[in-house]
């Protein structure tokens, strides 16, 4: 399957064309913001290498703006090309980029930018303060852009923890997770934003202004 992968959930934008596990074309750029402007150009560049049969996009957890930008582009391209959109979580993308971790449960820790972390553990995503981290039942491995922080906190509590080098989603990991979902090896997931916290934007105290009169 030839898959266009799109990722703008965290502090990196990437677009790639991956066919049967092989990255045919790839564009990656570290970016804390500006995903909506960067990602379409990247996608156009990599699609010069071929027409995708499916679109795989990271749906979170992560940046509100980045997640929306990636999903909007994924659905737009899919509608025009008549191909499906396959949702992939950040934790799934990181998991499929790692080798097997015998005897360890993978925890993906994502920086929520609010003094907390998003924890993705065996398909469940929650947000928690570092001081309220759950105690693992056994050995764990940490991935994600906040993995090193959570690993340090757990190690200070004498937990059996291993820090992996998986920080941000890769096109190969996104594509592998998408294939697993398409083949029924991962549970179904709507291609919609995976928001854990409420949005930071607030309505004005007096509500929205009325629409202009024609």
**Domain contains 209:** no
First to last CA, the chain: 50
**Domain contains 214:** no
Are 123 and 62 within one domain?
no
Are 75 and 173 within one domain?
yes
Are 58 and 144 within one domain?
no
Are 77 and 173 within one domain?
yes
| Contact indicator for 12, 31 with CB cutoff of 8 Å | yes
pLDDT of residue 133: 92
Number of domains in the chain: 2
pLDDT of residue 168: 95
Range of the domain at 158: 99-163
**Domain contains 175:** yes
**Domain contains 22:** yes
Q: Residue 210 pLDDT > 80, yes or no? A: no
**Domain contains 114:** yes
**Domain contains 198:** no
Q: Residue 208 pLDDT > 50, yes or no? A: no
Are 72 and 178 within one domain?
yes
Q: What is the CATH number of the domain that holds 14?
A: 3.30.420.40
Q: Which residues in the chain belong to E strands, given as ranges?
A: 2-10, 12-19, 22-30, 54-58, 85-88, 105-111, 116-121, 124-129, 140-143, 161-163
Are 7 and 86 within one domain?
yes
**Domain contains 156:** yes
Q: Which residue has the higher pLDDT, 203 or 76?
A: 76
Residue 31 — very low, low, confident or very high, per pLDDT cuts 50/70/90? confident
Q: In what order do the strands lie in the sheet with 22-30?
A: 22-30, 12-19, 2-10, 54-58, 85-88
CA–CA dist 44, 24 (Å, integer): 14
pLDDT of residue 191: 95
pTM of the model: 0.89
**Domain contains 61:** yes
pLDDT of residue 214: 47
Are 173 and 159 within one domain?
no
Are 127 and 78 within one domain?
no
Are 50 and 113 within one domain?
no
Average pLDDT over residues 156-168: 95
The string of pLDDT tens digits covering residues 64-120 is 889 999 999 999 999 999 999 999 999 999 999 999 999 999 999 999 877 789 999
Q: List, in order, residues 6 or more apart from 205 with CB less than 8 Å away.
A: none
Are 79 and 128 within one domain?
no
């Amino acid at each position: 399957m030839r898959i266009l992968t799109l990722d703008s959930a965290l502090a990196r934008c990437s677009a790639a064309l991956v066919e049967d596990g092989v990255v045919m074309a790839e564009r990656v750029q570290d970016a804390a913001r500006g995903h909506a402007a960067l990602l379409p150009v990247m996608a156009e560049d990599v699609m010069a290498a071929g027409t995708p049969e499916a679109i795989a996009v990271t749906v979170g957890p992560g940046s509100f703006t980045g997640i929306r930008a990636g999903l909007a582009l994924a659905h737009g391209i899919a509608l025009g090309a008549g191909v499906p959109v396959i949702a992939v979580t950040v934790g799934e993308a990181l998991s499929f980029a790692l080798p097997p971790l015998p005897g360890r449960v993978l925890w993906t820790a994502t920086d929520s930018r609010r003094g907390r972390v998003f924890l993705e553990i065996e398909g469940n995503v929650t947000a928690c303060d570092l001081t309220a981290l759950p105690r693992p039942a056994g050995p764990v491995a940490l991935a994600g852009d906040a993995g090193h922080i959570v690993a340090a906190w757990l190690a200070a509590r004498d937990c059996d923890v291993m820090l992996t080098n998986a920080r941000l989603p890769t096109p190969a990991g996104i594509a592998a997770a998408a294939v697993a979902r398409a083949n029924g090896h991962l549970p179904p997931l709507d291609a919609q934003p995976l928001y854990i916290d409420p949005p930071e934007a607030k309505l004005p105290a007096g509500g929205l202004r009325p629409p202009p009169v024609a």
